Structure 1
Amino acid sequence: MAVSQHPYRQDMPPSGGFEAIKYKRNLPVRGPSGVMILTAVTAVCAYGFYRVGAGNLEKRELQREKVWSRIHLVPLLLAEGDRDAYRRQQAALAREKEIMKGVEGWEVGKSVYHNQRYRPADSIVVL
């Protein structure tokens, strides 16, 4: 066997060791954390529910006001309707008197129906 000319030298790490292997991902922090997003969403939803509740209260109050204003206007509207019906009836009687002035035995305003039951004039359908 032949003896080697060079002295034996084992391969060793450098003094102080090798530098650490970079195997972790280096991701920068981008944006707020999940807890902050959840807190913000909860706050926005709470404010939205508050506004919806306040809007419902206001809408309910406006509806109540509208109902009461209609209740208070009913007598006035009925009186106006009665005045209009009376005016129309008088105008219809005047027209009837003018149209039928030459007919012998015609009584203006007398019902053409031969019964005692009341029929308002606007319920008669003329074709």
Structure 2
Amino acid sequence: MSTIPQQELPRPGGFPEIRYKRYIPKVGPSGLVLFSGITLMCTFGLYRTGQGNLERRELEREKVWSRIHLIPLLQAEADRDTYRREVAAKQREAEIMKNHKGWKAGESVYNSDRYAPKPYVVLP
């Protein structure tokens, strides 16, 4: 008695389809729209940065030229202040040393003909 093996068959109507894909609905803009938007924003940002750099460079140039034009005025003010301080120092020296015979106010105390500018001392 030999038995022939019975092969398993699908049920009548077949098996249901196997889901192997993800069926996710499309939500939001596409990749092309996102890429285009980011490109536009970056382009606009770089344009504004360039305009800001031009403005900053112009302001820096204006500041440098204003300083160049103010240098003579500031130098004249410094010269007037230095002269005023030297005259006041000579007057104080003459007042302090008035009892010493032969003392000449404002003369150098060094025995040299070399020029040495007077130190700029700020007194209270």
Map of 2:75 onto structure 1: 78
Cα distance in 2, alignment partners of residues 43 and 19 from structure 1:
52
Aligned residues: 110
Cross-structure match for 1:112? 109
- Superposed displacement of residue 123, structure 1: 6.6
Aligned to 2:36: 39
Q: Which amino acid aligns with 2:71?
A: V
Larger radius of gyration: 1
Q: Secondary structure at the match of 1:117?
A: coil
2:82 partner SS: helix
In 2 relative to 1, CA 54–71 (structure 1 residues): closer, same or farther, beyond 3 Å?
same
AA at the equivalent of 2:25: P
Q: Distance in 1 between matches of 2:76 and 2:18?
A: 93
The two structures have a TM-score, normalised by structure 2, of 0.80
Which runs of at least 4 in structure 1 moved beyond 6 Å after TM superposition?
none
Matched with 1:21 is: 17
* Structure 2 Cα separation of the partners of residues 25 and 75 of structure 1: 80
Structure 1 residues 20-29 or 101-110, which shifts more?
20-29
Q: Within the alignment, does 1:122 sit opposite 2:107 as a pair?
A: no
Amino acid at match of 1:53: G
Offset of residue 30 of structure 1: 1.8
Q: Give the share of equivalent positions with the same residue, in percent.
A: 53
Q: CA RMSD in A?
A: 2.1
Tell me the SS of whatever aligns to 2:119.
Answer: helix
In 2, the alpha carbon distance for the partners of 1:35 and 1:77 equals 61
- Once residues 20 and 51 of structure 1 are traced to their aligned partners in structure 2, the CA distance between those partners, rounded to angstroms, is 60
Distance 1:113 1:123, change over 3 A: farther
Q: Distance in 2 between matches of 1:63 and 1:12?
A: 87
5+ long unaligned stretches in structure 2: 1-10
CA shift, 1:33, in A, is 1.1
- Matched AA of 2:80: R
Cα deviations across residues 72-93 of structure 1 (Å, max 9, x unaligned)? Answer: 0010011000000000001100
